[in-house]
Amino acid sequence: MRKKWEQPEMRIQNFVPDEYVSACEVFRRWESSLWRQYNDRYGL
């Protein structure tokens, strides 16, 4: 799933402001850390 989205994201970054890209990166890290905590707690 992740591989499929890497290429379009790289292409989109050329047209998107750096502020938006960095905000997306922060959100992605936050979301992944939330998932890690959830998985650790509930053992999924």
pLDDT given at position 17: 78
pLDDT given at position 24: 82
Question: pTM higher than 0.75 for the full model?
Answer: no
Q: Are 15 and 23 in contact (CB under 8 A)?
A: no
Q: Give the chain's end-to-end CA distance (angstroms, integer).
A: 19
pLDDT given at position 6: 59
pLDDT given at position 21: 79
pLDDT (tens place) for every residue of the chain, 44 residues total: 555 555 555 565 566 678 887 888 889 999 999 989 888 888 76
